[in-house]
């Protein structure tokens, strides 16, 4: 089985199935096609499937042309029919791993995906999980379901964990050039996983086990969450001391060793950084460990939208205006600049807090034309275009996400009050409040 699959990978005759056509799965499958592999893209969302079949992209930073080019090769098929899994030599799972309402791991997407694949598993297939999760998931949740088909891991079927490392909107890091960590259930699994990803990624980083690979991804994201939490806390201290935290960070960053700059903001967003640390804190309890440092960083970052709203209230108060009935324009819904992803965005949390205080809200985001229907948030709003004239109508403009599309000079010039949460106006003080 091993040599047959290895030969198919090296010859690029292997058919690759990618489950989940989102921010991770879509660029991954496009990279396989670009490298000469035939593919199946699986998703339960028929809207995504139809858009791809029409050559359309639903992710802002992935151009329509790239979808159309992949379709033109005849090597891209998209489907919601799990039966097509039996036509694949490798199946890569890229589905969400959110938290439930109690901040506990929700593996329902992973478990349901594997259950759906199970009837179509066959000897000689390679399975890879890329979804961020706690150490042990691959062996505890994925492996038993493969073995339930009578397949022996390392002999009849092969299993790896290889964490995604997508950075949406960052054109500097393409899928091909970001090193890929791979951990296998056995040495043979690792060999095959490295062979597969080695066909599309420039550098492969092998680790000793799937658990080590799972932990690697958590370390990457916890490192960022903790350091962002640190600088967010320092921001509140510097603000009270009337010190410019941006100036301090820039000065510290001149040190050529022992310091990496992280920058403050209104909170954390996206599917990874606000969520992944809790996967480890939850699993650590099984071993009797309380991850106090990680949880404290989470508390600091979660509290930032409240801190920003308090600064908005204080700034309006200085102009003899209450938050209630003040017209406030939020610039940017996405959790980071130049993308359309609003998952866990602090902008939305700030809007909820301001609405609760009676503010009259509007927003502008060139990447999010309409406020989407969300389970926990509902705003009947669409993105508004702003000009020098209508900016004057607002009591306060909040730079929540610093998209490059915004005309920051015009915003400052024509706004009565600007709340800058992203450091766009580092040296400006007239009508600008830094927070």
Active site residues: 272
Does the CA dihedral 330-331-333-334 come out positive or negative?
A: negative
DSSP 253-280: TT-SSS-------S---SSSTTTHHHHH
| Residue 349 to residue 328: CA distance in whole angstroms | 14
- Ramachandran assignment for 136, one of left (phi > 0), alpha (psi -120 to 50 degrees), beta (any other): left
Structure tokens at 175: 């899928």
| CA 137 vs CA 106, 133, 153, 211: distances in Å | 12, 7, 15, 8
Structure tokens at 226: 């903790």
Burial 143-162 (b: 16+ CB within 10 A, else e): bebbeebebebbebbbbbbb
* The Cα angle at residue 416 between residues 413 and 419, in degrees rounded to 5: 90
| Residue 432 to residue 319: CA distance in whole angstroms | 13
Q: Please, what is the angle between helix 292-318 and helix 210-240, to 10°?
A: 30
Residue of 157, 113, 115, 141 whose CA lies nearest to 211: 141
Strand-pair category, 204-207 with 327-331 = unpaired
Q: Which residues pair with 433 in a beta bridge?
A: 419
How many other C-beta atoms lie within 10 A of the C-beta of residue 295? Answer: 14
């Amino acid at each position: 089985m091993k040599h047959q699959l290895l030969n198919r990978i090296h010859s690029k005759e292997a058919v690759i199935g990618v489950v989940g056509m989102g921010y991770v799965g879509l660029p991954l499958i496009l990279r396989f096609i670009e490298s000469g592999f035939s593919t199946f893209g699986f998703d339960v969302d028929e809207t995504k499937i139809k858009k791809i079949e029409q050559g359309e992209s639903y992710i802002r930073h992935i151009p329509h042309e790239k979808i159309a080019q992949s379709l033109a090769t005849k090597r891209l098929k998209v489907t919601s029919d799990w039966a097509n899994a039996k036509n694949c030599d490798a199946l890569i799972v890229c589905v969400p791993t959110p938290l439930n309402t109690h901040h506990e791991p929700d593996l329902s997407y992973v478990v349901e995906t594997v259950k759906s694949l199970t009837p179509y598993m066959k000897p000689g297939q390679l399975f890879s999980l890329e979804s961020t999760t706690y150490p042990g998931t691959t062996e505890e949740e994925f492996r038993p379901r493969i073995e339930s088909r009578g397949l022996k891991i390392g002999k009849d079927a092969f299993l790896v964990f290889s964490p995604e490392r997508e950075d949406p909107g960052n054109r500097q890091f393409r899928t091909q050039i970001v090193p890929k960590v791979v951990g296998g259930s056995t040495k043979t699994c690792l060999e095959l996983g490295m062979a597969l990803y080695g066909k599309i990624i420039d550098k492969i980083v092998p680790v000793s086990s799937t658990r080590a690979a799972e932990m690697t991804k958590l370390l990457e994201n916890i490192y960022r969450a903790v350091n962002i939490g640190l600088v967010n806390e320092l921001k509140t201290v510097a603000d009270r001391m009337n010190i410019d935290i941006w100036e301090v960070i820039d000065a510290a960053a001149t040190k050529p060793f022992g310091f990496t700059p992280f920058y403050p903001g209104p909170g954390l967003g996206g599917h990874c950084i606000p969520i992944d640390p809790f996967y480890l804190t939850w699993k650590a309890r099984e071993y009797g460990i309380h991850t106090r440092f990680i949880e404290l960083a989470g508390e600091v970052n979660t509290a930032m939208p409240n801190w920003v709203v308090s600064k908005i209230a204080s700034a309006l108060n200085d102009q003899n205006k209450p938050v209630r009935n003040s017209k406030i324009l939020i610039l940017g819904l996405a959790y980071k600049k130049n993308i359309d992803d609003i998952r866990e965005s602090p902008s939305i949390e700030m809007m909820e807090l301001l609405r609760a205080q009676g503010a009259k809200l509007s927003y502008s985001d060139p990447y999010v034309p309409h406020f989407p229907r969300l389970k926990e948030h509902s705003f009947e709003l669409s993105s508004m275009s702003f000009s020098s004239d209508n900016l004057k109508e607002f009591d306060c403009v909040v730079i929540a996400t610093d998209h490059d599309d915004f005309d920051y000079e015009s915003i400052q010039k024509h706004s009565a009050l600007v709340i800058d949460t992203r450091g766009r106006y580092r040296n400006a003080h007239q009508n600008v409040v830094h927070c």
